[in-house]
Amino acid sequence: MYKLDFTKPVNVHFMGIGGISMSGLAEILHDRGFKVTGSDRSKSSITEALSEKGISIKYGQVKENITDDIDLLVYTAAISADNEELLEAKRRGIECISRADMLGQIMKNYKVPIAVSGTHGKTTTTSMIATILMEAESDPTVTVGGMLECIGGNLKIGQSDLFLTEACEYTNSFLSFFPKIEVILNIEEDHLDFFKDINDIRNSFRRFSEIPGEDGLLIISADIDNYEEIVKDAKCKVITFGNSEKADYQASKLEFDEKGMARFNVSRNGNIGERIELSVPGNHNVTNALASIAVADYIGIDAKTVKDALFKFHGANRRFQIKGEVNGITVIDDYAHHPTEIKATLNAARNFKNKKLTVVFQPHTYSRTKALFDDFTDALLLADRIILTEIYAAREKNTIGISSRDLEKALKEKGADVIFLENFDDIEKFILANCRSGELLITMGAGNVDIIGDSLLKK
């Protein structure tokens, strides 16, 4: 495996440099004095911003883009094995590594690399920790999967020894990382187009827990079923958080205001501490906050700074994001695309007193919809009215033969007020005709469903 050394900059070429994660890695290396080049299929706001920073980008991935002065090539999972650039780089003997491997190598150049993992809540918790680090003026380097106000986007390049990132389990990419501090928020069935079953997923997280050495830290939810089995081979210190009575970090004297914002005292091993006020709704954000507080305690950030930061944190982009009102209807957008995430979001919305709740749900991938079909129908029943779009394919083709019409039929059989509308324009018309002032509207999913809310707010 190629070993990246910040003190010895080389020439690095990024294939698919316009991706949200790849662009961030390219910027980090560019800032450290590496010569960075890249290629992508077409121009975008991201590639143009990189070009303005002095990074040379070619459009179209052809073998002529590969030159002898390139020392290292980085590719994404979307790059096919027969790609011209990739084949030419290998022919020339240039080392080629994946995006995940590059991220792992970057982490090794920081004294305190932090990785946040879990089936749900990675972006929000990473953003909470980033907000705390920024409030503490620790000057971290941060890469996060959403747009975060306090860092002005999805990337912040700092000059300290702190590095913070999300760690996704899909394709086992997080096993290429080298964190000293790990967070495991939860472990549930997902990405079943890659994993065999929940036991396969748990095994990956168990392997992930073994990465920090004896001088490292693992912060894991005690609410995970038999979490002890996950950490049994971890050599680092283990701290737990959650709703379980055996958790080291718990929320005491928990209450919610009329908008679902939590207030609680931090309990550390039974010792009741400072009172925390959150500006993001739902019980799931209480546990996210507990994990963030545990990280901050370990680093040595004082309680007042943490308290102030969490109060200032209003969420990442597309995480229960209140976008505005149209005809008195409050429009909220959320990235939830797993049944557990849907339940958490809709339960948070239920804390808005006496508000009728309509959800526009766009299922994400055919494999996930098929594998978790019954769980999706149960979760969506928490809404008063359900509008379904067609499934967002993402990386897949519909070889399963499943449609949102199947969800519509199952939900109707359970007595739900549900309608399937394939066209976004028809969904907007339906909302304007049927939703009333004072109601809540949530657009939900990991695809492009958020544009419905944006369009409505322009009317």
Helix, coil or strand: residue 350? coil
Nearest-5° Cα angle at 79, 78 to 81: 130
8 labelled catalytic: no
Helix, coil or strand: residue 99? helix
Token digits for 332?
């909220």
Helix, coil or strand: residue 52? helix
- Asked whether 340 and 376 are in contact (CB, 8 A), the reply is no
List 27, 85, 88, 166, catalytic entry = 166
409 labelled catalytic: no
123 labelled catalytic: yes
List 47, 119, 123, 369, catalytic entry = 123
What whole-number distance in Å separates Cα of residue 101 and Cα of residue 2?
Answer: 9
Nearest-5° Cα angle at 449, 428 to 383: 75
335 Cβ contact partners less than 8 Å away, ≥ 6 residues apart: 123, 146, 318, 319, 341, 444, 445, 446
List 27, 37, 88, 122, catalytic entry = 122
Residue 268 burial by CB count (10 A; 0-12/13-18/19+): exposed, middle or buried?
middle
- Asked whether 183 and 161 are in contact (CB, 8 A), the reply is no
CA 363 distance to own-chain centroid: 17
Nearest-5° Cα angle at 32, 27 to 35: 70
Nearest-5° Cα angle at 323, 259 to 164: 85
What whole-number distance in Å separates Cα of residue 107 and Cα of residue 317?
Answer: 25
Other CB atoms within 10 A of residue 90 CB? 14
Please tell me what DSSP assigns to residue 161.
S
Please tell me what DSSP assigns to residue 22.
H
What whole-number distance in Å separates Cα of residue 330 and Cα of residue 356?
Answer: 11
Task: Specify whether the backbone of 152 is left (phi greater than 0), alpha (psi in -120 to 50) or beta.
Answer: left
- Asked whether 34 and 26 are in contact (CB, 8 A), the reply is no
Q: Which residues pair with 241 in a beta bridge?
A: 221, 249
**Which of 217, 216, 220 is CA-nearest to residue 229?**
220
Q: Which residues are catalytic?
A: 122-123, 166
